[in-house]
Structure formats: C-alpha cells, structure tokens
Amino acid sequence: MTVIRIPKKQWGKAWRAMIEIAPIRLIAADPLYEVLPAHLDLLKEMGVPFEVVPREPSKIKRRHATPD
C-alpha cells in the first residue's frame, strides 16, 4: 500500500470521495494515510494535491534461522 499526505484544506473533500472506493487507514498523526492505487487515481482525477511519503523500514529485527 502507498502512504500519502493530503493538505488540510483538501482533506474533507478527498476523504469523502476515497471512502466510497475502499477504506483508508490513518497511520500517523502527521496525518499520513495508507491508500490503494485506486485512491491515487481518484485524487488525480479530482485535482486534489497529495504527497507520496516513503515508508520507513520496519524497526523489528528479523530472526535468522539457527543451524541444526
């Protein structure tokens, strides 16, 4: 999934349109939203500006297999 930031002035209009397609998830108080590619297409069609934000790598360390 893609993470985006929407300007506060456009948030209400964009939110209502996006939830009609599929659920979106607020993942940070910044506000950052996790959306589907269909949401990005909709925002482009509506002319709503948004910023794609790179995801931070997971802070969880993976466990490596131990030799038998």
Domain residue limits at 24: 2-52
- The answer, yes or no, to whether residue 1 has pLDDT greater than 70, is yes
Is the C-alpha dihedral spanning 54, 40, 32, 62 positive or negative?
A: negative
23 inside domain: yes
25 inside domain: yes
60 inside domain: no
Better-scored residue on pLDDT, 2 or 61: 2
66 inside domain: no
CA angle 62, 67, 68 (to 5 degrees): 130
All residues at 6 or more sequence positions from 38 whose CB lies less than 8 Å from its CB, including other chains: 21, 22
Domain count, the chain: 1
For 11-67, write each residue's pLDDT tens digit: 888 989 999 999 999 888 888 899 999 999 999 999 999 999 987 655 445 566 666
15 inside domain: yes
